[in-house]
Structure 1
Amino acid sequence: MKRRAFIKNSLLGLAATTAFPSRIFSQSRKADILIRGASVLDGLGNPAFGTDVLVRNGLIMEIGHFKKSVARKVVDARGLYLAPGFIDMHSHSDDDIFLYPHAESKIYQGVTTEVTGNCGYSAAPVRGRDAGARMDSFHEDGITGTWSDVASYRAALKKNGMALNQALLVGQGTLRKSIAGLEDRPLTPTELEEEKAALEQALTQGAAGFSTGLEYTPGTFTPTSELIELARVAARYDRLYATHMRDEEQMLLAAISEALTIGRESGVRVQISHLKANGKANWSKQIDALNMIEQAHADGVRVWIDAYPYTAYSTSLVAFLPAWSREGGNGALRERLQSTETREKILRELDAKVRGDLGGYDLIVISSTGNKAVKDIIGLSMKEIAAREQMAENEALIDLLEKDNFSTGFVGHGMSPENVEMVLAHPLTMIGSDGVTQAPYGPAAKDRPHPRSYGTFARVLGYYCRERKIFDLPTAVKKMTSMPAAQLGLKKRGRIARGMRADLVLFDFDKVTDKATFSDPHQYATGFEYVFVNGRTVVEKGKINKALPGRLLDLNSRGV
């Protein structure tokens, strides 16, 4: 298929255009909310049109033109755009939502649903050989409640309450660790069947699919054949396989090839997470990566992409160390570092990766630490830390990890602005923050996280759509609404149409701004006047309230 034809066909979207019926409103069925005079963006990429929207019992009841008297509450939406609530296709809020149930950093930018359990890790299930230690860890972090599977996790979230919806992916790393720990070996046939059965149980309890983190342990120890077996289980339920691929630098194209092979062999829907060509030495690979994905999609592989609108990424610093050194966990790693010979080997491989693939230690900026004694380094680059400690840069990095019990987080500046725009504008790309629910209070306030948790969706609208004009507004909204809804199988979300769930966002396009920066990330986005989740108001006149109408979605439910 020619590129122009491909793009034209892809922009038709994952769902067909829905016509809006004009019906006579019955006074006997008074609405809860009348949103009056909005410019409606339906989520399908169609131009905005002026109309009113009635909400009742959590659903979009009618679309048309109505008198104020038909509803208990009237919202004056003149001069504002009304869109389906945004769906964060890639989030890590499984744990943090217990600590920040109002999800301020996400709600203030119009997110009404986020997909959690990404990159191979999920808060549920809690099972197998590490179940007790995992639950203890949650409680030590201040999380209340106890759960073992997706169903009991859903119950714990319901008891805790949350402002937005979530759809949970089951982490393959979480499943594998519960069976084989952090061992670098293939699973036995019995263990593989146990892993598949655990995934199937989660899917029957409403999980949205499964994810991998193939740069992390134990995902990095997983052969492709094991992933194909799991993907076949997910495909039987028509659920998603989301992958943080094996490499995003020098071996990017090989990693994409593996993801496409899994999709081709299993028939599963594939989501390539936070697609990027990381490190200046690898920037030229971005166009080839997109071409590979585009061709596979045209050939029938059900593959899509998500990305965030920043030239920096963020993860755990220990992930820079060679995979073989991380086998067995932090205790085993610490022991290996006691051996002079092994330590030197780790230092050499670390240095080759940072200087070769990633562009240098000055691009690695510390964002969080677990040890309060070293928190003064937050905001410093590894180059600055090494100079302060009068150590070689690779040695300073290892020294920091040892002092911080291998829990250090960082922001890495590694992508080109041109590539970010290229990926965001691609018709297969949806938007995912790769962030968490946060707020400028509590434990998160002490760190300097990536601004994506606060600004992703506002930045797509304000900077890349309004200022850079890499796509028009209907397309930008489509990437955040109907596209992710269709990929997830959420038939009642992602569009504005009669009978759809009333997850809605009302915003002033001229004022939408991402305030969060790398130096001052704890700043809410602006320009979002109202946000509705399941028909209830959670942001009113630009201010969040204390409503907690969200829930963990059950993908087996017909009304999801």
Structure 2
Amino acid sequence: MKLDLLILDGSVVDPEKLETYKANIGVEGDSIVYVGSDAPTDVKVTIDAKGLYVSPGFIDTHVHDEKLDEDDVERALLLQGVTTAVAGNCGLGPILSDELLSKPRYLRIGFFTGHQTLRQEVGLNDVYMPADSKAIKEMVEILKQELSKGSFGLSLGLEYVPGASYSEISELAKVVAQYDKKWVSIHIRYDGERSLEGVKEAISLASECGVRVQISHLASMASFGCLEKALEMIEEAKPHADVTFDSYPYRAFCTRIGSAVFDPGFEKRWKKGFSSLQVASGKNRGKRLTQELYVKLRKEEPDTLIIAHVMNEEEVKVALKHPDCMIASDALMENGQGHPRVCGTFPRAFRILLKEGLSWPEIVRKATYLPAKASWFEDRGVIKQGCKADLVVFHPKKIEDCATFKEPNLPPKGIEYVVLGGKIAVQKETLFEPEGEVMLRR
């Protein structure tokens, strides 16, 4: 047997059967061709994985990587083991262009079509204005074109578009339901005490339109005393609604100050004031917000990222521990600056879940098998012959996040190797330049 790559003597994590076992993994081209106890000798590259765990490459279904001229998000994700991602969430997915389709990538990445993008395409730039029937019909036609070109589905950011009616989004969701293996990602309409209304709307959308709906970063929306009830609602809806959800392992979220999320009155929703808000990008980065700075940034620098330290940490853990919760980063950067979740989500979630008593297979499942199933990635998420050779070799006792709110761009420790398409993409915190990975289309 001739192999391009052999991973020798590792402990393979099986997130499907929830077990670990000793095995060697053989790779030819971009596929796994062997998993077993034999050790072929005709091998181009060998990784000694003795004492290490070998996992399928992590799959991040909630990413923001919409800018053509920046690679910061992809690089940060790859360094923590992410090999496949879906971007364009929260209604911000781009119109697919030749430039977007052909850009070399650090990892395998696909895009949703964004609801806000569709609105802008039909001239509806006021997020507080509802779409009329003519605009909805035009958006439907554009969405059909994008889905046919390879978009993974529709992303909604309803908290950012208060004017969007249920009839508007349901007409678009019905279009997605007509296509195979595509779904709707939804940043629900409300956070805080009204988050359960947003969860109810997401469930209705799935049930009434016959489409899979993934509730984005559930913990950041409902960890205000509502998280357990939200999980209960999703659980009770299973017989009639195809609803999934993801979360990241931080008690602070991050978004742009000019968005509707920070419209006046936000303090009442979160029961937190300006001192809980931290500037994450621009010349004021690191400062706590004041009334004066809030007004100035809203007016003059609306794209400034703000980190809001407002969620209940114990509820965040409850979300992460749920058997159906997928780990997702919500990675978002502005000129290389942002929230530590961009660089630390997966290792941080792993350490939290270990402390909460989950086993390694149960933990890895949330970053591999679950998102693969939820996204219809049938050739990844597990380590089997014929699957994509996207793999992570990590040290189970050393893996940890290093990124902090003061230093958000620090890479994690304990990721020894990341293999992407059969080639070593990361080796001991050293990231190699991409070898032509391009956008995923469906």
Regarding TM over 0.5, the answer is yes
8 Å contact 1:273–1:307 — kept in the other structure?
yes
Question: For residue 410 of structure 1, what is the aligned residue in structure 2?
Answer: 306
For residue 485 of structure 1, what is the amino acid of its counterpart? A
Question: For residue 35 of structure 2, what is the aligned residue in structure 1?
Answer: 63
- The structural deviation recorded for 1:191 is 2.5
8 Å contact 2:13–2:364 — kept in the other structure?
yes
Question: For residue 203 of structure 2, what is the aligned residue in structure 1?
Answer: 260
For residue 403 of structure 1, what is the amino acid of its counterpart? E
For residue 62 of structure 1, what is the amino acid of its counterpart? Y
Q: CA separation in 1, counterparts of 2:194 and 2:349?
A: 28
Q: 1:318 to 1:361 in 2, by over 3 A?
A: same
Question: For residue 153 of structure 1, what is the aligned residue in structure 2?
Answer: 100
8 Å contact 1:311–1:415 — kept in the other structure?
yes
Determine if the alignment matches structure 1 residue 504 to structure 2 residue 391. Answer: yes
Q: CA separation in 2, counterparts of 1:189 and 1:102?
A: 37
Q: 1:436 to 1:164 in 2, by over 3 A?
A: farther
For residue 286 of structure 2, what is the amino acid of its counterpart? G
Q: 1:236 to 1:221 in 2, by over 3 A?
A: same
Q: CA separation in 2, counterparts of 1:227 and 1:40?
A: 43
Instruction: Trace 1:460-471 onto structure 2 (pairs within 5 A).
Output: 460-461=349-350, 463-466=351-354, 468-471=355-358
Determine if the alignment matches structure 1 residue 515 to structure 2 residue 414. Answer: no
Specify which of 322, 330, 343 is matched with residue 434 of structure 1. Answer: 330
- The structural deviation recorded for 1:58 is 0.2
Q: CA separation in 2, counterparts of 1:117 and 1:516?
A: 24
Q: 1:293 to 1:151 in 2, by over 3 A?
A: farther
Q: Which runs of 5+ in 1 are unaligned?
A: 1-26, 126-148, 324-349, 370-374, 387-392, 556-560
Determine if the alignment matches structure 1 residue 220 to structure 2 residue 108. Answer: no
Q: CA separation in 2, counterparts of 1:190 and 1:436?
A: 33
Question: For residue 295 of structure 2, what is the aligned residue in structure 1?
Answer: 398
For residue 399 of structure 2, what is the amino acid of its counterpart? V
8 Å contact 1:32–1:73 — kept in the other structure?
yes
8 Å contact 1:150–1:205 — kept in the other structure?
no
- Deviation sequence 1:359-418 (CA, Å, 0-9, x none): 11110111113xxxxx1x321111xxx4xxxxxx2x5411332233x2221100011121
Specify which of 215, 218, 236 is matched with residue 272 of structure 1. Answer: 215
8 Å contact 1:252–1:277 — kept in the other structure?
no
Runs of 4+ in 1 over 6 A off after TM superposition: none
Q: Which has the higher helix share?
A: 1
For residue 348 of structure 2, what is the amino acid of its counterpart? R
Equivalent residues, number: 440
SS of residue in 2 equivalent to 1:318: coil
Instruction: Trace 1:357-436 onto structure 2 (pairs within 5 A).
Output: 357-369=270-282, 375=283, 377-382=284-289, 386=290, 393=291, 395-404=292-301, 406-436=302-332
Q: CA separation in 1, counterparts of 2:109 and 2:220?
A: 29
Question: For residue 236 of structure 2, what is the aligned residue in structure 1?
Answer: 295
SS of residue in 1 equivalent to 2:62: coil
Instruction: Trace 1:188-267 onto structure 2 (pairs within 5 A).
Output: 188-216=132-160, 219-238=161-180, 239-267=182-210
8 Å contact 2:73–2:332 — kept in the other structure?
no
RMSD: 2.0
8 Å contact 2:190–2:221 — kept in the other structure?
no
Q: 1:500 to 1:254 in 2, by over 3 A?
A: same
- Deviation sequence 1:190-225 (CA, Å, 0-9, x none): 322221121111111221111011111xx3221111
Q: CA separation in 2, counterparts of 1:355 and 1:186?
A: 25
Q: Taking structure 1 as the reference length, what is the TM-score of the superposition?
A: 0.75
- Deviation sequence 1:439-464 (CA, Å, 0-9, x none): xxxx41xx4x2100000001112x21
8 Å contact 1:278–1:414 — kept in the other structure?
no
Q: Which has the higher strand share?
A: 2
Q: CA separation in 1, counterparts of 2:91 and 2:358?
A: 32
SS of residue in 1 equivalent to 2:176: helix
Question: For residue 459 of structure 1, what is the aligned residue in structure 2?
Answer: 348
- Deviation sequence 1:495-545 (CA, Å, 0-9, x none): 111100111111001000100001111200110111111111101244222
Q: CA separation in 2, counterparts of 1:249 and 1:105?
A: 30
Q: CA separation in 2, counterparts of 1:503 and 1:293?
A: 31
Q: Which runs of 5+ in 2 are unaligned?
A: none
Specify which of 509, 529, 551 is matched with residue 438 of structure 2. Answer: 551
Q: CA separation in 2, counterparts of 1:296 and 1:549?
A: 42
Q: CA separation in 2, counterparts of 1:46 and 1:284?
A: 32
Specify which of 519, 525, 538 is matched with residue 412 of structure 2. Answer: 525
For residue 264 of structure 1, what is the amino acid of its counterpart? S
Q: 1:101 to 1:533 in 2, by over 3 A?
A: farther
- The structural deviation recorded for 1:295 is 0.7
- The structural deviation recorded for 1:308 is 0.2
8 Å contact 1:307–1:431 — kept in the other structure?
yes
Q: 1:321 to 1:81 in 2, by over 3 A?
A: closer
Q: CA separation in 1, counterparts of 2:220 and 2:419?
A: 36
- The structural deviation recorded for 1:257 is 0.8
- The structural deviation recorded for 1:278 is 5.3
Question: For residue 255 of structure 2, what is the aligned residue in structure 1?
Answer: 315
Question: For residue 42 of structure 1, what is the aligned residue in structure 2?
Answer: 14
Q: Percent identity between the aligned chains?
A: 32
Q: CA separation in 1, counterparts of 2:150 and 2:179?
A: 10
